[in-house]
Structure 1
Amino acid sequence: MKKLKQVYLDYNASTPIAPEVREAMLPFLEKHYGNPSALHFEGVHGKRAVENARKQVSTILKCQPSEMIFTSGGSESNNHVLKGVYSTFRQKGNHIITTTIEHPSIINPCKYLESIGAKVTYVRVDHFGRVNPNDIRAAITKETILISVMHSNNEVGTIQPIKEIGEIAKEHDILFHTDASQSVGKVLLDVKELNVDFLTIAGHKLYAPKGIGALYIREGIDIEQLIHGAGHEGGKRAGTENVVFAVGLGKACEVGNESMEQNEHVRALRDYFWQQLKAHFKDMVTLNGHPEYRLPNTLNINFTKRIGQDILTTIPQLAASTGSACHSGEVTLSPVLKAMGVNEEEGKGAIRFSLGRYSTKEEIDYALSLIKQGY
């Protein structure tokens, strides 16, 4: 039997490792094995590689290399900021502001901090999944020590007004963090323009391996370490540097920075996909997320009167995702869509299609044919 063709449209969940990234990593898999902290020739090799990678990562954010530390991924970076700020500035205040649509690596650490004395305000978003900066301003109290708002949402792709929120944070002398895991490499980012003090990067959303991430910490800010040990990463994060993966993330950022214009091609494919679905299904499909302030690769739509997972189950050749959960036959609406006020019956039919650097029109056309059959 002829093997079925497969189409991968789940880039927001994880990207493949780019060929350029793989090539950059190979020497450190095959021969350069020294500990970067060692003073001999092999250690020097590793140290230079890590510092070059740090420079590559800093370039995509337009910051100084000394402001970047490598982590194990987005979850560690987010935990480092939330727990580090709370631990360091607990005497100043105990209030944190975030939103109702954050990733679990923000929501769950916040719930943990609440269990040990923190007060957390979860600001609501509008029907497009966008927070109103004035609502952030209204949530500020004398006890507020941190605001954390994701740059773009992983499910619907909505981009938040980070610059405006950052200005509010500055006015009130409050530290500001953004989780940009989904945004890096897809849209231009400048930490100074965004007015952020911390910014999270996750490697596997950026054509680098899983298990590597980075955290921007603005110069002059010192927060408690999440991982204690020897004085790696400028004393900010203990643990022998993961040279291989750091090199991979560095190269991924370099490639992403140099190929930013490819995102317009991805946007065109995404819009073509949506137009074709709309033309065929008409009012049986509706869009989730902001029509304008949205990542160029993300398309989250509701298939009316259907269950999103049921559709995907009938077309195993297509890799996409749904935020809804199914337990004992009951379908639970995605927390993000629920926070956006999406009708429950409608939202159960939601599917997220996320395109990437290697998506083609041929793949989109094939996906369209599969969806039409599966519906």
Structure 2
Amino acid sequence: MKVQHLSQALQRIEASPTTAMTDRASELRAEGRDIISLSVGEPDFPTPPHVIEAAKAALDAGDTRYTPVVGTAALRKAAALHFERDLGIATDPSRVIVTAGGKQAIFEALAATVSAGDEVIVPSPWWVSYPQMVRFCGGTVAPLRTSARNNFRFSPSELEALITPRTNWLMLNSPGNPTGAVFPADMLRGIGDVLRRHPQVLVLSDDIYSPLIYTEAPHATLAVECPDLADRICTVSGVSKSHAMTGFRIGVATGPDWLVKAMGKLQSNSSGNPASISQAAAVAAFEGPQDFLADWREAFRRRRDLVVARVNAIPGLSTPVPDGAFYCLVDAAPLMNRFGGDDGKLALHLLDHGVATVAASAFGGKDGFRISFAADEAVLVEALDRIDKALA
């Protein structure tokens, strides 16, 4: 008899649905099935050559040892440059922590601060891991519902209605996953007005998709729009989406000194330092040429327009035009009777027809699925042809 001792914390969460669908697509491919995966948020462009060369140079130089737990001095300095140049956040390298991906930074910030009974406001639809992290820490998720009718944005009054004495975090993600929603500067300033009345609330600003905005307005972030609240804001970024470096597993975060130190304390007892070679590559990513991003952004814009037009031409499907990131959250409500009201069954139906997507319910939504358009246009056309046939 096998004995299993699972912690209460682990029993409160579920495996990530996005990685589960991606893994399932890989398994089917290994079995010989022709599967197009639109389930994972991963740029299909090659990692920039100067980043690859930096990784090779680090290997040749023998930089294969432990580094400081919170990151090398070179990368913390480069990350501080990134925060100021690209996000407008002036920060000192001492207030930067380097993690094994942005996901680890978010987890550490929550794990260092959330206790049983604490409440975390999470706008929905949300990135799948936000509520799981909160629940693992013993916190309670307070969903802040948004919809396509309002471009997946919320009003200051809607936010304030959810705040209680137990609220200790607000999660912000702009551009957002899975909706592509972008929070404009005036919305963030309105959020700031609410937060000033509730000084116990911290803010996690996930800006990992900040280079991928398709509107005329530049990226806006709370720490810039409300500088007087900077000591309550943890801003997370990285190189995965901006430089096609998902496998390097490097995230960076900046915030108040006490929080960065708390995150480092946790990291010192869990993963230790991020990979030394990945850190060297990330220095090159932040300090090297950034001009390629304009071409990538324009390619993503073309793909977005293609996917939106094709989805909206399929009877029973609709999607708004996302302002950022590389996702479309597709509404399939008129078709849900065919699937017993279960969008998980809809996603499996599409998988049976050769396209891996992720059910909207995985993101706190309903009656639809998320498409990642981080794929070649020919691949997207074929995938949408298959979706059209699957639902005909």
TM, length-normalised to structure 1: 0.69
1:1-375 aligned at under 5 Å gives the runs: 9-10=38-39, 12=41, 18-20=47-49, 21-33=51-63, 35=65, 47=72, 49-51=74-76, 53-55=78-80, 57-58=82-83, 59-63=85-89, 64-66=91-93, 67-86=95-114, 94-114=118-138, 121-128=142-149, 129-160=152-183, 161-173=187-199, 174-181=201-208, 183-187=209-213, 188-190=219-221, 192-195=223-226, 197-201=233-237, 203-206=239-242, 207-210=244-247, 212-222=249-259, 225-226=262-263, 228=265, 239-253=272-286, 257-262=290-295, 263-279=297-313, 281=314, 283-287=315-319, 291=320, 294-295=323-324, 297-302=326-331, 304=335, 305=338, 307-315=346-354, 320-323=356-359, 333-338=361-366, 347=367, 350-356=368-374, 359-375=375-391
The superposition leaves residues 286-307 of structure 1 with CA deviations (integer Å, 9 ceiling, x where unpaired) of 22xxx35632532232453472
- The number of aligned residues is 326
Question: Do the aligned residues in 1 keep the contact of 2:205 with 2:222 (CA within 8 Å)?
Answer: no
- Partners of 2:128 and 2:267 lie apart in 1 by 29
C-alpha RMSD of the superposition: 4.0
Specify every segment of 5 or more residues in structure 1 that has no aligned partner in the other structure, as ranges.
39-45, 325-332, 339-346
> Equivalent residue of 2:365, what SS?
helix
- Partners of 1:260 and 1:32 lie apart in 2 by 31
Quote the offset at 1:198 in angstroms: 0.8
Question: Do the aligned residues in 2 keep the contact of 1:94 with 1:144 (CA within 8 Å)?
Answer: yes
> Equivalent residue of 1:286, what SS?
coil
Which structure features the higher share of helix residues? 2
> Equivalent residue of 1:201, what SS?
strand
The superposition leaves residues 121-180 of structure 1 with CA deviations (integer Å, 9 ceiling, x where unpaired) of 333323554333212122233454332233344223233444532442244333221223
TM, length-normalised to structure 2: 0.67
Quote the offset at 1:78 in angstroms: 1.3
The alignment-based identity, stated in percent, is: 16
Specify every segment of 5 or more residues in structure 2 that has no aligned partner in the other structure, as ranges.
1-31, 214-218, 340-345
- Partners of 1:337 and 1:61 lie apart in 2 by 29
- Partners of 2:277 and 2:37 lie apart in 1 by 26
Residues 16 and 260 of structure 1, relative CA distance in 2, 3 Å threshold: closer
Residues 163 and 200 of structure 1, relative CA distance in 2, 3 Å threshold: farther
Residues 5 and 185 of structure 1, relative CA distance in 2, 3 Å threshold: farther
- Partners of 1:258 and 1:189 lie apart in 2 by 20
Question: Do the aligned residues in 2 keep the contact of 1:18 with 1:252 (CA within 8 Å)?
Answer: no
